[in-house]
Amino acid sequence: MRKIIHIDCDCFFAALEMRDDPRLRGRPLAVGGDPGKRGVVATCNYEARAYGVRSAMASAHARKLCPGLLIVPPRMAVYREVSLVIHAIMLEYSELLEPVSLDEAYLDVTDSRACRGSATLIAEEIRRRVRETLGITVSAGVAPNRFLAKIASDWNKPDGIKVILPEQVDAFVAALPVDRLHGVGKVTAARLHALGVDSCGELRVWQREQLLREFGRFGERLWELARGIDERPMQVERRRQSVSVEHTFERDLPDLAACLQALPPLLEQLAQRLGRLPEHYRACKPFIKLKFDDFTQTTLEQAGAAMTPQGYAELCRQAWPRGARPVRLIGVGVRLDSNLTPLGEQLSLFD
């Protein structure tokens, strides 16, 4: 039985801003872009969340929800430095560390001898050391697998810990709302609710074959998660899944023609980023993302599509009618395979 810890910093960027400037404490605070220049909220503190402000929300909309919201620009160099210190602390307990982002990571302590081999004591000690060393709080989840550890870390936020023992897994998962399952977004949740499935206990009634017919390949994953099964190993050496470039325009692009005209500089940036990747990555599938003026968005990707300006233009022509509205953001990118095939052949398509 594995022992997995998931560490998640509490409103990480905002917490560091409040730490470095105590005058910011106790008032609604967000870290993000300028509302007057189509900025987006990167994160916010809990005072701001009480007004409905959330990450990835347009800064202008966040200011409407919370007129007293203070928005400060991000200091990524500071955030990266603190993140490295947190990872260094975690590595003292196990080498099986999988960073997910600057503010969260998994740690496999199954074979660790620290704290008498207790995953709970290790998690508590990590939390204490981060608080004392860096002046911020983190929440922790302890469970037999990654799926449950991540859910547990969010259970008693902020500055909390949740432990799910092996003998508690079955009952805990049975009562878990399907909305909490990793990979179940609003659309899938709505489909499950329409089928009369609100909890994992109700989902267990469905046979594996039924879920496969109803949800395709994700049905297999649903069957496993409903039973608390997650055999994914730790990925100590993380590999990129995609490379992309996004741009939010100061003025909405009124129509498809304007979107097509905006593609060339984005594709040039994408080619530059691809050129900096190690050779064992291979571009395999182009995609385009459009966010419309009503904040709905669509992403279209197509295996075998040409990774050329003409190919991306065709993807844009197919994606735009899904909203058929002015566009505030365009993103272009490629999905990646990681093998021994070099990128050179694909990159030449951008030349």
Q: Is 132 a catalytic residue?
A: no
Given a contact cutoff of 8 angstroms between Cβ atoms, the answer to whether 201 and 175 are in contact is: yes
Cβ contacts of 203 within 8 Å, gap of 6 or more: 178, 192, 197, 222, 226
Give the residues across from 300 on adjacent strands.
288
Given a contact cutoff of 8 angstroms between Cβ atoms, the answer to whether 15 and 225 are in contact is: no
CA distance 139 to 152: 9
Is there a binding annotation on residue 103?
Answer: yes
Given a contact cutoff of 8 angstroms between Cβ atoms, the answer to whether 234 and 90 are in contact is: no
Given a contact cutoff of 8 angstroms between Cβ atoms, the answer to whether 205 and 174 are in contact is: no
Is there a binding annotation on residue 255?
Answer: no
DSSP 104: E
Cα 88 to Cα 41, 50, 84, 96, 105: the distances in Å are 28, 33, 6, 12, 12
Cα 169 to Cα 35, 145, 152: the distances in Å are 44, 10, 11
Given a contact cutoff of 8 angstroms between Cβ atoms, the answer to whether 145 and 228 are in contact is: yes
Which helix (H) or strand (E) is 331 found in, with range? strand 327-338
State the catalytic residue, choosing from 17, 98, 104, 314. 104
CA distance 16 to 109: 28
Cβ contacts of 119 within 8 Å, gap of 6 or more: 3, 4, 5, 109, 112, 142, 163
Which residues sit in the known binding site for Mg(2+)?
Answer: 8, 103
Catalytic amino acids? Answer: 104
